[in-house]
Structure 1
Amino acid sequence: MALINFLYYVVAFAVVLGVLIVVHELGHYAVARWCGVKVLRFSVGFGQPLWSRHLGRDGTEWVLAAFPLGGYVKMLDEREGEVDPAERHRSFNAQSVGKRMAIVAAGPVANLLLAILLYCFVFWQGAPELRPLLGTPPAASALAQSGVENGEEVLRLDGHEVASLQDLHWQLLRRASEAESVVLETRNLRGEINERRVAIAPTLAEFGLEADLPDRLGVTLFRPYIPPRLGSVSSSGAAGVAGMQVGDVVVGIDGVTVDTWGEVVTRVREAVGRSLGIEVVRAGRHLHFVVTPTEENERGRVIGRIGVGVAVPENLPQLAITVRYPLGESLQRAARETWEKSFFSLEMMGKMLVGQVSLKNLSGPVTIADFAGQSAKLGWASFLKFMALVSISLGVLNLLPIPVLDGGHLMYHMLELLRGRPVSERIQEVGQRIGLSLLFALMAFALYNDFARLASG
């Protein structure tokens, strides 16, 4: 089971990485061909080729290489070897500055366009999400101090509609970098509309702009009161064999009073390998049963089950919703989502440089693989949204003005445009070394964070 689970995560990571690398390099490839540049090699991965084929009119070599964390498109270029005079006009360096900039920018732009398409598809098809219903916030949290009660649904944040609990998390993170407080328009279980001013600044000052900031502010999942009344009892299950029946109300387990169905589930799941003394009320009589939960494997963890289900109250609020929009609106929302997350990524990187955001937020391939597997288990919509987020991160990262990245090459081309002549090869060589050193340092930090998260569980 552990091996299958590991392979599941590896496959999910490979799909995410493979799609994003191929799309990025196809961006470079397509614009290079459109500009008339000859492409010599299209490689997914670096190092020793594991598979290669020469295809197309120009005999472009298509390669799958051993080290998969990246890829490249090699074009005809006089700076990298002799070029037949008859083909000089097809070399990269012979193109105008504008064409060279378009070819370089095409990779990151392709990643951003992919994110828009993925978000658009999810919005159009409809994704299952949680309603923005809030549970009872911790006593000292910002939401508790604002007066938020259990079961309040967030309708708007600073005037912007909140579509789901995930959307609430995102909007809080985005506004935290801009405002000291936000105003939540909420509706409680009695149907009353309230405005809750939530102070963000104190929590932000204490914990920083981290991904768990909404949790720190007091955003918790709404858990409606569900009485511990049995709605179904399997005749072959431990409870049915012991004599428990539909309609029984569980009032105690091992001498401890229980008030909600959630308490029953928790105690049964944890009772692996031991018997439980369960007290129920049936037609006004108190009855006692000794029940031994059967062991079941749930995602690699052994839990206890007794073969019963809850009687769901009729007035229970709907927790799950499907967020769906028409195609035109889906495209608009997808473009806005991509723009906002791109800008937020840049803002976070800037805050890391000046020390306002911890470098612990950097994630490497191990964390990405973990999130890829988790999102895949949640369903296709979560997986596609995760892929879109990573695609945005890849696009934004590659546009940074760091030598060896696409943004560094764009910087050189812009300087050439301003100066009227190319940047010297010596300066570019020094820049390459600095850029590689910086990237290796970032990768080391990211890998350190990955293993630190694994070590902390």
Structure 2
Amino acid sequence: MQTLLAFIVAILILVSLHEFGHYIVARLCGVKVLRFSVGFGKPFLKKKRGDTEWCIAPIPLGGYVKMVDTREGGVAEADLPYAFDKQHPAKRIAIVAAGPLTNLLLAVLLFGLSFSMGITELRPYVGTVEPASIAARAGFVPGDKIVSVNGVAVNDWSAARNEIVLNLESAEVNVAVETQNGRNAVRTINIAGTADAGQVVKQQGHIGLLPFKITNTLAEVLPGSPAATAGLKKGDTLVTADGKRLHYWSDWSSLFRQSPGKSLTIQYLRNGQTFETRLRPNSEELPDHTLIGKAGVAPQSDEAWTEKIRRQYTPTVAQAFGMGWQKTADYSAMMVKFFGKLLTGQASLSHISGPITIADVAGKTASYGLQSYVEFLALVSISLGIMNLLPIPVLDGGHLVYYAAEWIRGKPLSGRIQAAGLRFGLALMLMLMMVAFFNDITRLFG
């Protein structure tokens, strides 16, 4: 119910304000608006105010503003001066652009509101490198500080991750780092065109890097697991395996994984005293018939390291909204770059998400708190704004192209060209919707 409610609220806010942007500018330009609807289908709630009928319809996946337009049927002679299609192209461009621009402005306001509550940033330090991962093969080690990605400077973990993920499908990614001993180095990820690139997309950009450092102290021991049978408990610190000291949790994880059914002599600390036990990891077969071992334990994070990489502060209101503007500009540029890569085949269609994923993330962010949900709304608002500005017929951006061409030529494009563009746009959007639903279902059940 929380997921459903969070999704509906998000759609109502973002779509309503998008359409309200169209409505306000249409009225300012002297266009008569017949209906403002939130949702599709037969309205179940109507309210007439002035010339406009305000409606709420049952399908909460969009909305629309219906204006007087001679192309959609007969128009009374008295209404002709107020018809949308009879306005100067500049006015029509302003009306159409108002919706997406309202979404982008809303994102600035939402980010600003979130940032004014306080900001928690993670500095771009590598805390954990998962064994045998893409990151491990690229040479990353715990303690690396990421300085830049393909020459683009990064100041926090989120920016570093986004730059890496955006580029790894289409090009070699060179990550400049500063090591723990202060030396400069470059970690190179080169998986473009390989199966690994597709796997990263399925794992939502995960390449085996985590900002948090994991200790050898146990945070959890699953009941009935090999570790519980061996007598290990929460709070125990693993020290040696078969007489060999293992310094990192990644080493322990790798050892358990590579030792299915094998008896291991484990030395551990409990309340300052050293104990020894025998542990035999369970065997589990992967889909490729590889056997791996599982011990049934989870580690604690290093709180001192977390304090080192975490930065918390509360900016002034002016600073918060200035940062909101910058964040909106950065994410907008990133999305435009992504669509460019998608068009040239340098990015996978697997990145495209639909309403099921949006609903899932809406529910999760709402459960984390108001600030997370507000930032989620900002990101979706940017997506809605940029998506609608794409020059695809049936989207706002396609109409902008038509009206700009009309303004330049002094006359509209022929009906044949507009009809062909409409068919192309509908086919393309239908394909994207099918891909989005397929990706959603794959993520949900995959």
Question: TM-score normalised to the size of structure 2?
Answer: 0.75
Matched with 1:272 is none
Q: Following TM superposition, by how much is the alpha carbon of 1:14 offset from its aligned partner in structure 2, in angstroms?
A: 0.9
- Structure 2 CA distance for partners of 1:173 and 1:453, relative to 1, 3 Å: closer
Aligned to 2:437: 447
Q: What do the CA deviations read for 1:72-131 (whole angstroms, capped 9, x no partner)?
A: 111122233333333332221221110011001111111111112222222333233444
User: Which residue does the alignment assign to 1:4?
Assistant: none
The one of 120, 132, 151 equivalent to 1:128 is 120
Residue 197 of structure 1: aligned partner: 186
Distance 1:28 1:446 in 2: 26
Query: 382, 400, 406: which one pairs with 1:392?
Result: 382
Check the 8 A contact 1:226/1:312 in 2, yes or no. no
Q: Go from structure 1 to structure 2 and tell me whether the alpha carbon gap of 1:280 and 1:154 turns closer, same or farther (over 3 Å shift).
A: closer
Query: Aligned-residue CA RMSD in angstroms?
Result: 4.2
Aligned partner of 1:376 among 337, 345, 366: 366
Aligned positions of 1:413-424 closer than 5 A: 413-424=403-414
Give the stretch that moved more between structures: 166-175 or 178-187: 178-187
**Gapped regions of structure 1 (runs ≥ 5):** 1-6, 231-244, 267-278, 289-309
Distance change (3 Å), C-alpha of 1:323 and 1:437? farther
Q: 1:438 to 1:250 in 2, by over 3 A?
A: closer
Alignment of 1:277-292 (within 5 A): 281=270
Task: Give 3-state SS (helix, strand or coil) of 2:42's partner.
Answer: strand
Unaligned runs of 5+ in 2: 221-232, 254-267, 278-299
Give 3-state SS (helix, strand or coil) of 2:75's partner: coil
Deviations 1:286-344 (A, max 9, x none): 699xxxxxxxxxxxxxxxxxxxxx99987874454325444444444333332332233
Distance 1:176 1:76 in 2: 48
Partners of 1:363 and 1:449 within 8 A in 2? yes
TM-score normalised by L of structure 1: 0.74
The 1:324/1:162 distance shift into structure 2, 3 A limit, reads: farther
- Residue 355 (structure 1) aligned to one of 318, 328, 345: 345
In structure 1, what is the Cα distance between the partners aligned to 2:430 and 2:328? 27
Per-residue deviation, 1:29: 0.5
Q: CA offsets per residue over residues 258-294 of structure 1, 9 Å max, x none?
A: 999999xx9xxxxxxxxxxxx9755758699xxxxxx
Q: Structure 1 pair 323/187, CA: closer, same or farther in 2 (3 Å)?
A: farther
Q: Which moved more, 1:338-347 or 1:15-24?
A: 338-347
* Aligned-partner Cα distance in 1 for 2:102–2:123: 33
Q: Taking structure 1 as reference, are residues 165 and 88 closer, same or farther at Cα in structure 2, changes over 3 Å only?
A: same
Query: Sequence identity of aligned pairs in percent?
Result: 38
Cα distance in 1 between the residues matched to 2:22 and 2:218: 60
Match of 2:107 in 1: 115
Secondary structure of 1:48's match? coil
* Aligned counterparts, 1:262-341, within 5 A: 281=270, 317-318=307-308, 320-322=310-312, 324-341=314-331
What CA distance in whole angstroms lies between the structure 1 residues aligned with 2:219 and 2:18?
55
Please, which moves more after superposition, 38-47 or 140-149?
140-149
Q: Is the 8 A contact 1:208 1:356 kept in 2?
A: no
Letter paired with 1:343: A
Three-state SS of the structure 2 residue aligned to 1:149 is: coil
Indicate conservation of the 8 Å contact 2:110/2:374, yes or no.
yes
Alignment of 1:398-413 (within 5 A): 398-413=388-403
Q: Indicate if the aligned counterparts of 2:212 and 2:301 stay in contact, CA closer than 8 A.
A: no
Moved over 6 A (4+): 257-263, 285-288, 310-316
Give the length in aligned residue pairs. 401
CA distance in 2, matches of 1:177, 1:44: 38
1:369 partner letter: A
Contact 1:134 1:154 in 2 (8 A): yes
Q: Aligned partners of 1:284, 1:352: CA distance in 2, in Å?
A: 57
**2:215/2:302 contact within 8 Å kept:** no
Shift of the 51–173 alpha-carbon distance from structure 1 to 2, 3 Å rule, reads same
Q: Which amino acid aligns with 1:196?
A: A
Question: Are 2:51 and 1:62 aligned?
Answer: no
Q: CA deviation at 1:134?
A: 1.4
In the other structure, the counterpart of 1:215 is: 206
Residues 35-81 of structure 1 show CA distances to partners (whole Å, capped at 9, x for unaligned) of: 111111101111110111012xx331111112221111111222333
- Alpha carbons of 1:340 and 1:228: their partners in 2 closer, same or farther (altered >3 Å)? closer
2:95 maps to which of 89, 92, 103? 103
SS of the equivalent of 2:31 reads coil
Q: Secondary structure at the match of 1:133?
A: coil
Give the AA of the match of 2:182.
Answer: I
Change (3 A) 1:91 1:144: same
Secondary structure of the 1:36 match is coil
* Distance in 1 between residues matched to 2:76 and 2:65, nearest whole Å: 20
**Is 1:227–1:261's contact at 8 Å kept on the other side of the alignment?**
no
Change (3 A) 1:425 1:370: same
Shift of residue 368, structure 1, vs aligned partner: 1.0
Matches within 5 A, 1:24-173: 24-55=18-49, 58-138=50-130, 143-144=135-136, 147-154=139-146, 162-173=154-165
Distance in structure 2 (CA, Å) of the matches to 1:418 and 1:381: 45
